[in-house]
Structure 1
Amino acid sequence: MSECVVFQLADETALRAAVRRSSRARRLRLCLTAAGEWRLIVPAGCLLHARRDWLEGLTPFVERAWRRYCRRCAAEEAEGSLLPERLVLPVTGQDLEVRRGGGWQQGCTAVAGGAHPPVTVEAGARRLLLVATESRLTLYGDADDGLAAEALRRWCRRQAGQYLPPLLKELAHRHGFAVSEVCVRDQRSRWGSCSRDRQGAGRIRLNWRALLLPVEDAAFLCLHELCHIRRMDHSPAYREELARYAPDWPERERRLSRFWRELPRWARPAG
């Protein structure tokens, strides 16, 4: 059986946090995913039984966070449709209407007038086509909200691949960071990650969801990852490095955390 920690709430609800041990972690970290799963990140050599008092002290935090999550789920259920009426991408400057078109054949006809290559999503016999123009994203085919959300995610990831790497590279050039690779990924629990190649240059992976951030927050995310090229941890030395480029970094970090918690439903990681 996989390792877990159980938190008992005042109403006797038992919440299980799956333990994930990490050789890179320097401290215990408890988080609630967008899917409502608790995860406890634990340094590789940490003995949890020795931290029992600390874990028990987290119960009030768990209770508050769980209540917020339940309220949000209830509000989303009341909202109805999973899809947004508009899609605003500050990094690209796009403000697009999102609407449903006709059937699959109509979508195939509309592809010729699209400003971007279409996105096709298939699940068994169901299929959907997303056609983009300069001002609109139109969904053709199956009316399933899940397929439509997947089409939006794929289209946004494609856009992110075009716009996020140039943003990071420009900041790297401006501030003197060596970067050998920048790519866009679909991380489930983080905005980005950084490693180094054999020459010490950065290899950075950005979450496509950064495309949804205000421009200044997307830029800060890039600086956060760039500073890891020089300090591969979150030590005081790393924070001092980050403060050179973003003196208000604590507030910026809090904003990123808040944006992650408040991601629109269609953009949240699955599972």
Structure 2
Amino acid sequence: MLNLFKNFLIIVLTIINITNAAQYLSDKPDFLKPCNYEDKSFSKCFANNFQVLFKDWKDGVPGLKTVGKLDPIIVKRIKIVQDPSSGIALNAILDNVEIRGASDAIVEEAVMDMQKLTVDVKFTIPKIRFNSNYKGKGNILSLNFNGNGKAFFEAENLSMGIHITMKLHDIDDFTFTDIETLTVNNDKVGDFKIHLDNLFNGQKDLEETANLLFNENFREIYRIMRPVILQTVEAILKDRLKKVFNYVPSNFFIANFPKAKDVKQ
């Protein structure tokens, strides 16, 4: 069974630590509209503000040099290790991974529980594509392979959710959120494609047959690649959102956000 195999992922993000130009963002951008937590339309308003993190700040956040572009994102290395004795196994290293499509994410819902200090966000990425170099071996759908070269895989209509737990701190007249945990889950995928070059030492006919077979059985292949996608997106979002929420006052997102000193944490 596909859900019985064990897998292990190592994701290395290329992160450059540079001193921020300012301690925090002191002037609210016009495209952020502070929401009223007590308003019945709060979730819709909050979702619109969350959308900013994908769209309006896709090229970075003014004054926050530690946050770069959201599209493309470069991941230095992803290592996939699975039990070789399983019926379906892929052991591979993906180098210089370029990820495109994250900035097109559509935020559908954003809910905050002020008592528990949690945020839950649902969003869909119309298409996300991973391009990389790869070196790997394994067996998928009764095909044993050992190859290296160029690879890509892409998911369409990828529905995802984020669950965030946080703590608060005050600076001057502003309140900021410190992300303690961030987890990503995946509800569904509309379509999935994968292509691996040079799977069988240059045997093109066999390579084309294998890739065709992979894509005809895309849901099974997606189950294999799902941990790669989820954990990569999780690592990227956690790094990005931690920096953004420590830089942008929570009051810019929610008008009646409480002071940290007034909240039991």
Structure with bigger helix share is 1
TM-score (norm 2): 0.23
